Chain A
Amino acid sequence: MATDLVPEVVQPAADSSRPASAPRRRRRTKSLGRDLWRYRWLYLLLLPGLVYFVVFKYLPMYGLTIAFKDYVPFLGYSGSEWVGLKHFQELFTGPDFGRLMFNTLLLAVLTIVFVFPAPIVVALLLNELRINVLKRSVQSLVYIPHFLSWTIVASLTYLLFSVDFGVIANWIHGLVGGQKTDYVAQADWFRPLIVLQLLWKQTGWGTIIYLAALAGVDSQLYEAARVDGAGRWRQFWHITLPAIRPTIVVMAILTSGHLMDSGFEQIWLMTTSLNRDVADVFDTFVYYIGITQGSFSYATAVGLFKGLIGVVLIFGSNFLAKRMGQRGLF
């Protein structure tokens, strides 16, 4: 026993967050108990978080059973009748599924193409700024929109783009002429507006994490590169980008889990009768059928399906990242 202790103690303290990874498999139970005792204070610290997840995330999952029932609140969870996969069948064969899937996926693709890289680009640009005061003030200014609620963002959009009194709409009309375009109502403009809103609201906030990664790059690397005759572009390509690549990968994996989340509030606030065909996504659909129509079982089935896709995407992109030689998330 005493001999066993030695290598364990030498282990760096940083690894103590994962003490369960005991060195030898056959001794696992024994050393698990010992580890639990040894790191008891750390486990105590973990406990509130654990309880939070169990109470608020795992126990409510019991409610997912209503996806397989015809849930009537008055009869309760146990009293409602089991119907198997009826609601899933209804979803997959129903008239809405194709449209919902297409809209959700298209918005996800647009998000990846336009919204995801935006903070990286802005962070890199900010990183190149020489004047510290300017850099900091720009940085603060661009992340202010993050703190505004979607309701305000949507109202602003209406104010700026309304066909009757929209400032920007009138301005564009003055430049381009022709017939007035109703940006907020027309289906063609729905997706561009959504992407624009996302860019405006989230880009600045997203830069923070990349700027933090950039701040961690050793300045000696740049000095050495300059001595070797590397220009700005070379420095960027061979030092800056590799330095933040792990951060980008982790962010990409995390984002992929949310690809099916189109952002309920934003979409819901921007939906009108004219653009509903392109605006309906799983999130708003769940709201309509669950809260507005009271079809709780069907809504749960749709939400569960969406969640499953999210899980697949997270594991998938994590696997891909590892395959491409990057450190995955887990």
Chain B
Amino acid sequence: MTIFSKRRLAVAAALSTALLAASACSGGGDDKGGQAASTELTVMAPLFGTAPDPNGELQQAVEKLIGKKLQITWVPNAEYGDKSNVTLASDKIPDVMVVNEKGPSFVKAAEAGAFWDLTGKLDKYENLKPANEQTAKNTQTNGKTYGIYRVRPLLRSGIVIRKDWLAKLGLKEPQSVEDLYTIAKAFADKDPDGNGKKDTYGLIIPKWPGNYASASPYDVIETWFGAPNGWGERDGKLVPGFDTPEFLAANQWLRKWVKEGLVNPDFATLDSANWNDPFVQGKGGMIIDVNVRATQLLDLFKEKNPKDFDKVTLVGNLKGPDGEKHSYPFTGYNMVMAISKQHVRTEEQLNQVLETLNKLESKEGSILLTNGIEGRNFKADGKYAVPINQDDPKVKAIQNDVDKAFIQLGTRASVGLGAYALRPNDEASRKMREKFDVLMNEDLKTAVFNPALSIIAPTSVAKGQTLDTIIPDARIKYLSGAITEDQLKAQIKRWYDSGGTDIVKEVNDLAAKAGG
């Protein structure tokens, strides 16, 4: 009996081991990579709506153009950062990945050799070589190019203001930060909505999801005051922007706003997804953000009441207290398309992939990605694209695939810079769109660029979790009145003590090396 049961046990053990082995194997079972790469391209990209049908008309058109099957993993934009970190840790890195090339996990992976170093490799491809020197420099990571940047307008910052409130109170559009204060004060105190109650405020700020120097309203205002954009040169050395007198001056000024009730009281907690609400509801009259918010708000007002088509105006960057204008530029791109080495192993295979991408980003490719299929969902009218056949559900699907998904694959033409610009719905929107370019070109003359954008200090990768929140948190606490100016300075010192000192040294060393 004993022997018998032992044998049983052995069988059971063997069985369960086999079972385990089988389940363990299934995890790494799809290593078909190498050969498949030549006919198929796997891609990961952000998604802003429902995922396109892989057999949809648009994807087929794109596949026909590039001559390869596409396997695209669409990831909702809200969780794109987390999902790409997890993907980077898996054994399923796609061939082409839209990725934040400055993110710590990407930098670590790239430095370990998980992605192709594309430095100097893009110039021979007509549609992949960088169109703008400044932007190309911005996308580098310590002198190396790891991806093809997805173009965005170089300057998008602006102030959206209630036009009718300005008119009612007899105010002019602001030129300087003093003007802005006057307007905010009037919006808060002089009853711009005429309901007899003091229930409005000037500026609307949301809970900002990003870190320091991430194009928040605070960063923009600090730049107006003359503070560096992220990093700046002081006495021949690069210093972080928050360690300058201008940073303090800007925040002292803004703290006064908060104290006087010129800012929405829930500025530390308002969800940035609901940023438009107080504006449309008539609670607040100003938003400092990207210019496209102006057209969004125009549309929202019109949706509520068709007569309200002209309630919004847009103003560019402002003159600081010293009378000089400093404008907050954007980086000119939003994430890059990097090529992983997981399946693309040889230079030859890499060239194939680049060749494919070159086709994807050609003139025809850009039109497909940013406008759709000509004659199906739009027709070209000069420089504008005019939507057609939008009642047909099939055409609607194409339009949706373009706007919510495929536009994210464009690198030469993309969001805000379509191959054809969308023809505006009405006169107000058209004028607003034209204003974008005028303001951008005007403000670019005074743009303050971040000289350290392409530099990644090793310490900031290693200790980001401790350091990244110190400054933005301290700034909000100071503005809300929770801490004093001395305590704010103590927090800046804490940043230095927790590893910031090393970061400053590394940034300066790396910048000296990069500058040659």
Contacts and interface: CB of A to CB of B under 8 A. Distances in A.
Interface stretch (A209-217, A271-279, A312-320): A271-279
B511 to A, nearest CB: 23
A289 B465 contact: yes
A144 interface: no
Interface string B93-109: 00000000001111011
A230 interface: no
A30 B266 contact: no
Interface residues of A, number: 44
A55 B19 CA distance: 10
B477 interface: yes
A291 B1 CA distance: 54
B383 interface: no
Interface in B195-225: 207
Interface in A147-180: 158, 162-164, 180
B265 A180 contact: yes
B114 interface: yes
Nearest to A79: B112
A51 B109 CA distance: 34
Contacts of B109: 72-74
Interface stretch (B2-10, B295-303, B389-397): B2-10
A180 B261 CA distance: 12
A285 B465 contact: yes
B266 A74 contact: no
B255 to A, nearest CB: 14
B498 A95 contact: yes
A296 interface: yes
Contacts of A51: 16, 19-20
Contact of A294 (B20, B88, B494): B88
A30 B3 CA distance: 10
B269 interface: yes
Interface stretch (A10-18, A31-39, A126-134, A198-206): A31-39
Contacts of A2: none
Interface stretch (A106-114, A181-189, A253-261, A322-330): A181-189
A185 B269 contact: yes
Given A72-B108, A291-B86, A164 B5 contact: no
A36 B1 contact: no
A36 B1 CA distance: 11
Interface string A35-64: 011000000000100110011000100000
Given A33-B2, A162-B269, A295 B86 contact: no
A296 B89 contact: yes
A112 B152 CA distance: 52
A34 B207 contact: no
B268 interface: yes
A164 B266 CA distance: 6
Q: How large is the interface on B (under 10, 10 to 19, 20 to 34, 35 or more residues)?
A: 35 or more
Given A33-B9, A36-B8, A182-B266, A295 B462 contact: yes
A272 B85 contact: no
A70 to B, nearest CB: 10
B268 A295 contact: no
B90 interface: yes
B8 A37 contact: yes
A151 B417 CA distance: 36
Contacts of A54: 16, 20
Contacts of B264: 164
B23 interface: yes
A276 B211 CA distance: 14
B78 interface: no
A94 B105 CA distance: 21
A255 to B, nearest CB: 29
A54 B15 CA distance: 14
A292 interface: yes
Given A34-B1, A274-B482, A288-B465, A59 B24 contact: yes
B85 A273 contact: no
Contact of B112 (A55, A74, A95): A74
Contact of A291 (B82, B266, B268, B498): B82
Contacts of A94: 466
Given A73-B90, A187-B482, A295 B113 contact: no
Nearest to B498: A95
A289 B468 CA distance: 11
A293 interface: yes
Given A34-B1, A37-B8, A273 B112 contact: no
B75 interface: no
- A50, A182, A185, A276 — most chain B CB neighbours (10 Å): A185
Nearest to B477: A274
A55 B475 CA distance: 47
A288 B100 CA distance: 17
B202 to A, nearest CB: 14
Interface string B427-467: 00000000000000000000000000000000000101110
B166 interface: no
Contacts of A298: 465
Contacts of A285: 465
Interface in B65-79: none
B480 interface: yes
B112 A72 contact: yes
Nearest to A31: B2
A73 B5 CA distance: 44
Contacts of A186: 482
A75 interface: yes
Interface in A281-302: 285, 288-289, 291-296, 298
Contact of B265 (A74, A164, A272): A164
B477 A273 contact: yes
Nearest to B283: A164
Nearest to B86: A291
Contacts of A30: 2
B473 interface: yes
Contact of A274 (B8, B108, B480): B480
A247 B1 CA distance: 42
Contacts of B20: 51, 54-55, 59
B179 to A, nearest CB: 26
Contact of A273 (B2, B89, B472): B472
B198 to A, nearest CB: 14
A182 B265 contact: yes
Interface in A88-141: 94-96
B476 interface: yes
Contact of A272 (B23, B268, B462): B268
A274 B268 contact: yes
B153 interface: no
Contacts of A164: 264-266, 270, 278, 283
- B268, B283, B475, B476 — most chain A CB neighbours (10 Å): B268
Nearest to A75: B112
B114 A74 contact: yes
21 contacts: A30-B2, A33-B1, A36-B5, A36-B8, A36-B9, A73-B109, A74-B113, A158-B271, A164-B264, A164-B266, A180-B265, A182-B268, A184-B269, A273-B477, A288-B465, A293-B104, A294-B85, A294-B88, A294-B106, A295-B104, A298-B465
Given A95-B498, A272-B269, 8 more contacts: A72-B112, A73-B90, A73-B109, A164-B283, A184-B269, A272-B207, A274-B268, A294-B89
Q: Which 9 A-B pairs have the closest CB atoms?
A: A294-B105, A33-B5, A74-B114, A273-B476, A73-B89, A289-B465, A164-B266, A185-B268, A72-B112
